[in-house]
Structure 1
Amino acid sequence: MTHHLEVDSVQLKFGAREILSDVYLKCETGKITGLLGRNGTGKSSLMNIIFGSLVPENKSVRFDGKSVPKAYLHHELLSYLPQYHFIPAHLTLNRVFSDFNLEFAPFESFFPEFRQKHQQKIIELSGGQRRLVEAYVLIKSKSEFVMLDEPFSHLSPLMIGLVKELIKEEQANKGFLITDHMYRDVIELSNDLYVLAEEQVYLVKEIEDLKRLGYTSSIS
């Protein structure tokens, strides 16, 4: 069964500046939805609005047609990877995986550099390793939908490739909404692609739309 996440009628202002105006976006389970936009256009704000941690002037967030204004209270519906580190630094990897009801063995098998490190604390990891752990536990979470804000940040090209593999593997089980400045990786992954420009979200039907919307002039 396909499940749907829809957000529309979003209005967001910071002071006199309008950030988002009458925004509509849809995600489905079994699909990867990409969200592109230049810095400061409101991508992270939109994700926080969907999550319910940012309250705008107006919004409608629905899961299978049912309004869910505080999705952060419903982990079975939605998980969110923010730009900043969110896992407490004092926790061990073993504790983190236990809290997310995940086995550590498949993780260390996929990422051999973590072998025998289940007792290591988050604070002892590099920035890239920490981001990798955070992305992994949410990609593998039991939520119907997962939002990933800059999941490739601080990761090596090899790690980015492996994270993309994980997302594709989990695509059959959930829906993804992804934004990242590594736009080529987002484009490659996405079944549906949106661009946020001039306070609104536009569905991209072909690569030329990215140029027309002023996102980039160099995509081929």
Structure 2
Amino acid sequence: MVHQLEVDSVNLQFGTREILSDIYLKIKTGKITGILGRNGTGKSSLMNIIFGSLVPGNKSVRFDGQSVPNAYRHHELLSYLPQYNFIPAHLTLDRVFSDFNLDYEPFEQYFPEFLLQYRSKMIQLSGGQRRLVETYILIKAKSEFVMLDEPFSHLSPLMISSIKKLIREEQPNKGFLITDHMYKEVIDLASDLYVLAEEKLYLVKDITDLERLGYVRSRN
């Protein structure tokens, strides 16, 4: 069964500055939706609005047609990877995986450098390793939709390749919303691609749309 997450009529202002204007977005399970945009265009704000941690002037968030204003309370519906570290630094890896009802062994198989490291604390990991653990946890979390804000930050090319493989493996049963400044990785993954520019969300069909919207430079 295909599930649907809809975001409608989103408007956001900070003071006199308009950030988002009448945004509509539909995400479905089985698809990967990518959002690109320059710094400050409101990508993270939009994700926080969907999650319910940011309350704008107006919004409507619906799961399968049912209004869910505070999605962060419904882990079975939505998981969210913010740009900052969200797992407490003092927790051990085995505690983290236990809290998310996930087995540690498959993680070791994907990333052998973590073999027998389950007693390590998050604070003992490098920045890239910590980001990797958090990204893996949310990709594998038992929720219908997953939002990933800068999932490839601080990761090595090999780690990025493995994370993309994981996302594709989970794609048949989940809907993903991804944004990252490493736009080529997002383009490679996305079933549907949007650019957030001038407070609006634009559907992108090819590289010429990215050039027209000023996200990448013209090749001419």
Shorter-chain-normalised TM-score: which range?
over 0.9
Amino acid corresponding to residue 32 of structure 2 in structure 1 = I
Quote how far apart the aligned CAs of 1:208 are: 1.1
Distance 1:164 1:104 in 2: 19
Bigger shift: residues 130-139 or 201-210: 201-210
TM-score normalized with structure 1 length: 0.98
SS at match of 2:119: coil
Aligned to 1:199: 199
Distance 1:136 1:44 in 2: 19
Q: Is the 8 A contact 1:52 1:71 kept in 2?
A: yes
AA aligned to 1:35 is: I
Deviation at 1:123, TM superposition (A): 0.2
Q: Say if 1:207 and 1:219, in contact at 8 Å, map to a contact too.
A: no
**TM-score with structure 2 setting the length:** 0.98
**Is the CA contact 1:82–1:149 (under 8 Å) kept in the aligned structure 2?**
yes
Matched with 1:23 is 23
Match of 1:113 in 2: 113
Q: State the match for 2:139 in structure 1.
A: 139
Q: 5+ residue gaps in structure 2?
A: none
- Mapping of residues 47-196 of structure 1, within 5 Å: 47-196=47-196
Q: Secondary structure at the match of 2:107?
A: helix
8 A contact 1:88–1:122 mirrored in 2: yes
Q: Which amino acid aligns with 2:189?
A: L
Equivalent residue letter for 1:74? H
> Aligned to 1:172, what secondary structure does the other structure show?
helix
Q: 2: distance between equivalents of 1:218 and 1:64? A: 39
Query: Residues of 2 paired with 1:213 and 1:3: CA distance?
Result: 30
Q: Which amino acid aligns with 1:5?
A: L
Q: Which runs of 5+ in 1 are unaligned?
A: none
Structure 2 letter corresponding to 1:140: K
Counterparts in 2 of 1:95 and 1:61: CA distance versus 1, 3 Å:
same
Q: Residues of 1 paired with 2:91 and 2:192: CA distance?
A: 36
SS of the aligned residue for 2:84 comes to coil
User: Could you list the per-position Cα deviations for residues 126-166 of structure 1 after superposition, in whole angstroms to 9, with x for gaps in the alignment?
Assistant: 00000000000000011000000000000011111110000
Cα pair distance change 1:66/1:8, threshold 3 Å:
same
Percent identity, please. Answer: 77
Q: Which residue of 1 aligns with 2:209?
A: 209
Cα deviations by residue, 1:14-61 (Å, 9 ceiling, x for unpaired): 000000000111110000000000000000000000000000000011
Structure 1 position 173, deviation (Å): 1.4
Q: C-alpha distance in 2, partners of 1:162/1:102?
A: 18
Give the drift of 1:219: 6.9
Spell out, residue by residue over 1:143-197, the C-alpha distance to the aligned partner (whole angstroms, 9 max, x if none).
Answer: 0000000000000111111100000000011000000000000000000001100
Structure 1 residue 207, shift from structure 2 partner: 2.0
Q: Give the number of equivalent residue pairs.
A: 220
